[in-house]
Structure 1
Amino acid sequence: MGNFLALVQNENMKIYRRLRTWIMLALVVLLPVLFGILIAVNNGTFGSNMDAWGAASNLSFIYFLVSIFSVVIAADIVASEFTWGTIKLLLIRPWTRSKVLLSKLLAVLLFAVAISVLFMIATIGITQLLFSSGSTAANIEQMNFGEYSLMMFYRFIDLVVITIFAFMISSVFRASGLAIGLSMFLLMANSILSAILNPSRYSWAKYLLFNNMDLSQYKMRESAGIAATNGMSLGFSATVLAVYVAVFLVVAWLVFTKRDVAA
């Protein structure tokens, strides 16, 4: 167990010793602060009196960058080993290929958690500092905190799915550019693909990945009193996403453990 933890630590060191990682982390802190200040300056200008959690919710659009940064790390962590030829040095050590792949996956997920937590700390910190209106609004903000946390949890689920997808592409094709490109396409074209292949039009489309992402859609439908259609529900979409994640991981494991790296 100790050897495996050392392997995970080694993968984390590879991530955090690169300058780009620290640039990503800096952006995740600076952008919420910058946009939070801009929102605070304009708060009330257009007749709006936004509270801290409302501002935090508005800043959640920056979380898209967190997804991109996580995808970049996931796309590179396996492919770069083949690009630089260091995969041979890694595999001659007394670790199975399964453990090597698992350590890389854990390092990616730990990075995704760390950058997500950092984003939330920066966002909540700046909005509480600039928008907190004292103890009178404390109870209302506490209630909204639960809604904000749930929204961010749903976004994190999407991040994990797309990050593992990038990890699989990186493991299978050994190309970080392809992994990043396909993942970015899936992220940005999600709503367009969902509109074209809508489950209300094609019943089989409810099993497609992009139609089951953004779990917050069920919360919004519930709040608006809109009933679930085509047999899709929060539990259904969560199950479909879990199946996709399992398939991604199995494919990545099968290819990585069977690939010849002697050449």
Structure 2
Amino acid sequence: MGNFLSLVQNENMKIYRRLRTWIMLALVVLLPILFASIIAINENRFGPHTEAWSAASNLSFIYFLVSIFSVVIAADIVASEFTWGTIKLLLIRPWTRSKVLLSKLLAVLLFAIGISILFMIVTIAISQILFSSGPTATNMEQSNFGHFSLMIFYKFVDLLVISIFAFMISTVFRTSGLAIGLSMFLLLAGGILGAILNPVKYAWAKYLIFNNMDLSQYDMWASAGITAPSGMSLGFSATVLAVYVVIFLVIAWLVFKRRDVAA
């Protein structure tokens, strides 16, 4: 177990010793501060004033960058080993290929969790500093925090699915560019594809991955009194996404286990 933890630590060191990682983390810190400051300055001049938790919700759009950064890490963590030729050195050590791949996956997940927590802390802190707190009742604060956390959690689920998809593409094709490109296409074009292949029109479309992403849509539909497409629910979409994640991981594992790296 200790050897495996050392392997995970080694993968984390590979991530955090690169300058681009610290640039990503710096942007996650600086951009919420920048946008919050611009909003606060404009409100001081023109009004009206925004409450802190509303400001935090408005700043949540920056989380899209967190998704992109996580995809970049996931797409590169396996492909870079083949690009640099270090995969041979990694596999001659006393670790099975399954453990090597698992350690890389855990490093990606830890990065995604860490950068998401960092984004939440910075966003909440800067919103509380620059904007009025609004109602100060404890139950109201808990409700606002719960709503914001749930919003970020829904976005994190999308991040998780897209990152594992990028991880799979990177492992199968050994190229980070293709993994990033396909992942960004799925992330950006998912809404368009969902509109074309609407589950209301095509019953089978409810099993497509992009129609089950953005779990927050169920909350929006419920608040608007809109009924979800037949057979779809929050639990259904979560199950479909879980199945896709398992498929992505199995494909990555099978290919990595059988890949010839002698050449």
TM-score norm. by structure 1 comes to: 0.97
The answer as to whether partners of 2:213 and 2:237 remain within 8 angstroms in 1 is yes
Confirm or deny that 1:65 pairs with 2:65: yes
Displaced runs of 4 or more, over 2 A: 42-49, 132-142
The answer as to whether partners of 1:68 and 1:184 remain within 8 angstroms in 2 is yes
Whole-Å separation in 2 of the counterparts to 1:33 and 1:138:
26
Q: What is the match of residue 201 of structure 2?
A: 201
Per-residue deviation, 1:47: 5.3
Whole-Å separation in 2 of the counterparts to 1:257 and 1:43:
57
Q: What is the match of residue 151 of structure 1?
A: 151
Q: Which moved more, 1:176-185 or 1:141-150?
A: 141-150
SS for the counterpart of 2:232 is: coil
Stretches of structure 2 lacking an aligned partner (at least 5 in a row): none
Q: What is the match of residue 34 of structure 1?
A: 34
Q: What is the match of residue 258 of structure 2?
A: 258
SS for the counterpart of 1:43 is: helix
Q: What is the match of residue 129 of structure 1?
A: 129
Deviations 1:191-245 (A, max 9, x none): 1111111111111100000000000000111111222222110000000000000
Identity of aligned residues (%): 80
Q: What is the match of residue 174 of structure 2?
A: 174
- Residues 197 and 135 (structure 1), Cα distance of their counterparts in 2 relative to 1, 3 Å cut: closer
Q: How does 1:222-233 map to 2 (within 5 A)?
A: 222-233=222-233
Per-residue deviation, 1:142: 3.0
Counterpart residue identity of residue 206, structure 2: K
Counterpart residue identity of residue 77, structure 2: I
Counterpart residue identity of residue 90, structure 1: L
Whole-Å separation in 1 of the counterparts to 2:232 and 2:121:
33
Per-residue deviation, 1:138: 5.7
SS for the counterpart of 2:48 is: coil
SS for the counterpart of 1:189 is: helix
Counterpart residue identity of residue 232, structure 2: M
Give the alignment's Cα RMSD to 1 decimal. Answer: 1.4
Counterpart residue identity of residue 253, structure 2: W
Per-residue deviation, 1:161: 0.3
Q: What is the match of residue 52 of structure 2?
A: 52
Whole-Å separation in 2 of the counterparts to 1:204 and 1:250:
23
Stretches of structure 1 lacking an aligned partner (at least 5 in a row): none
The answer as to whether partners of 2:63 and 2:119 remain within 8 angstroms in 1 is yes
Q: Which moved more, 1:49-58 or 1:125-134?
A: 125-134
Per-residue deviation, 1:64: 0.4
SS for the counterpart of 1:227 is: coil
The answer as to whether partners of 2:168 and 2:252 remain within 8 angstroms in 1 is yes
Counterpart residue identity of residue 60, structure 2: S
Q: What is the match of residue 191 of structure 2?
A: 191
SS for the counterpart of 1:165 is: helix
Q: What is the match of residue 77 of structure 2?
A: 77
Whole-Å separation in 1 of the counterparts to 2:80 and 2:248:
19
The answer as to whether partners of 1:52 and 1:141 remain within 8 angstroms in 2 is no
Per-residue deviation, 1:143: 1.6
Q: What is the match of residue 219 of structure 2?
A: 219
TM-score norm. by structure 2 comes to: 0.97
